[in-house]
A and B are shown apart, each in its own frame.
Chain A
Amino acid sequence: MTNNTTESTPLVKSGLAEMLKGGVIMDVVNAEQAIIAQDAGAVAVMALERVPADIRAQGGVARMSDPDLLDGIRAAVSIPVMAKVRIGHFVEAQVLQSLKVDFIDESEVLSPADYVNHIDKWNFDIPFVCGATNLGEALRRITEGAAMIRSKGEAGTGDVSEATKHIRTILGEIRALSSRSDDELFVAAKELQAPYALVKQVAREGKLPVVLFVAGGVATPADAAMMMQMGADGVFVGSGVFKSGNPVARAAAIVKATTFYNDADVIANASRGLGEAMVGINVSDLPAPHRLSERGW
């Protein structure tokens, strides 16, 4: 780049996430789905070989997608393309950076590559999004360089209850932190297992220093609007669109409900004529080892 400029600063990385706010990011497995997502008004697509519902059903080790698949999807759309790497797999992340995807998701939906360490995301010019189930986890990911946080929910279930639990937990813990006095923040940092400076910043500003989306179980327009009303900056929809009866209509309806999240009349109309929602699995029926949200630490 020419003089008088600095690339890939933290601001520039979190800035792209700021531009995604109020938007819906959809999982897609091929170019055709990516175009449906873009036409429906999705703000970005997550390129995958299998949506989480299929990863869950088929089992086996889930890894980064094939570069050819990513290239095909990137060529098909003009909105940003995200892709997932396994937790801790920094070489998969190097590969995605080499392929010039716009955003990397270090995701619990794939099989973890490292059960101790997450990726040192400061080593990369590409911004990262990471999952979190509570404030401490979110702050640890931000400390490692994440430019965006998404609450984890329980991917591939179509059951929104875990997404609700995680966004409520994160935002509730931020509110509780804001009410603490300065001399209580040192022990708050210890409890959250996060750096004091970051804990103090969140307490002072009353929000995370990066954008906070919701993921994992959003399947209907009302689900998306509920997440927005609770304070999410936007939503990820994984299996919810392309595992439903009418993906074209459902994708557009979820986008509309995300923009007009405070308008029940609009959400009601958007909920009409969508065909069947994804059948889904109740999270409470999942035996503990199969809960993806428990991956990551």
Chain B
Amino acid sequence: MRIGVLALQGDSREHLLLLEQLGVEGLAVRTDSDLSKVNALIIPGGESTTISKLLVNFDLMPQVRDFAKSKPVLGTCAGLILISDEVIGALPDQQLITGLPVKTERNAYGGQLNSFEASVSFADGTTENVAFIRAPRILDAGNCEILATHNQEPVAVKFQNLIGASFHPELTGATYLHKLFILLVEEHQS
């Protein structure tokens, strides 16, 4: 198993370190050729506007969209925005990867002044401390499975081969979301 981390911009290094810690091979993905070498892809936190522009400017958007149609993809924060089917607060011409049937609002908790740390609860009772930074909010989780909540609101969801989370597990050393993603990748391989 080799999991790619989209490394156009953002905190790809923290995700790669987390994968290493969990004993999984990771690869920084910047090109079509990198993408062909991985079984799954993590789209990290960063600036969603910027990552979207770079996917288009570097001619990578169609390949990533194709990848997300069948292979496991985990999007955190900016990554969640990019894989959401509907985004409120994005630029009018913003290109998205889409695939996750949720309605997400960008910077929904406010600007940097309203960024926060919080504990999130997973379905099996596991709780972890994570960071929400200029975070998106899942307004409507549609038919997705709810993986984690914060104050009764969904903050991590799964639909088929896609997982989206509004928070950053990689900044606080939380590993549970990545473990769930690795299980999903294993299921897809078998």
Q: Point out residues on A near B: beta carbons under 8 Å.
A: 1-9, 11-13, 15-16, 18-23, 38-44, 77-80, 97, 100, 102-103, 125-127, 252, 255-256, 259-260
Contacts and interface: CB of A to CB of B under 8 A. Distances in A.
Contact of B115 (A16, A23, A42): A16
Interface of B: 7-14, 30, 45-47, 49-50, 53-54, 57-58, 77-78, 89-91, 106, 109, 111-119, 131-134, 150-151, 168, 171-172
B116 A1 contact: yes
B112 A127 contact: yes
Contacts of A19: 10-11, 45-47, 77-78, 133-134
A164 B21 CA distance: 33
A77 B94 CA distance: 12
Contact of A6 (B45, B111, B116): B116
Q: Interface centre among B11, B14, B134, by most A CB within 10 Å? A: B11
A18 B30 CA distance: 18
Contacts of A3: 151
A7 B58 contact: no
Given A21-B11, A41-B50, A15 B116 contact: no
A190 B45 CA distance: 38
Nearest to A262: B30
Given A19-B10, A22-B9, A11 B106 contact: no
Nearest to B77: A19
Given A22-B12, A23-B46, A11 B117 contact: yes
A6 B53 CA distance: 32
Contacts of B7: 22, 259
- Nearest 4 CB-CB pairings of A with B: A5-B118, A5-B116, A12-B115, A22-B9
Nearest to A22: B9
A103 B119 contact: no
A238 to B, nearest CB: 19
Contacts of B134: 16, 19, 80, 102
A203 to B, nearest CB: 20
Given A5-B118, A12-B133, A23-B50, A18 B112 contact: no
Contact of A79 (B47, B58, B114, B119): B47
Given A4-B119, A15-B171, A22-B12, A43 B113 contact: no
Contacts of B111: 100, 102
Contacts of B113: 7-8, 97, 100, 125-126
Contacts of B9: 21-23, 41, 43, 259
Q: Interface centre among A7, A100, A259, by most B CB within 10 Å? A: A7
A255 B54 contact: yes
A295 B118 CA distance: 39
Nearest to A260: B30
A270 B151 CA distance: 47
A249 to B, nearest CB: 12
Contacts of A2: 151
A102 B112 contact: yes
Contacts of A7: 113-116
Nearest to A2: B151
Contacts of A259: 7-9, 30, 54, 58
A1 B118 CA distance: 11
A179 B7 CA distance: 30
A21 B115 CA distance: 18
A165 B157 CA distance: 47
Given A78-B90, A255-B54, A259-B7, 8 more contacts: A3-B151, A6-B117, A19-B45, A20-B47, A43-B9, A44-B47, A79-B49, A259-B58
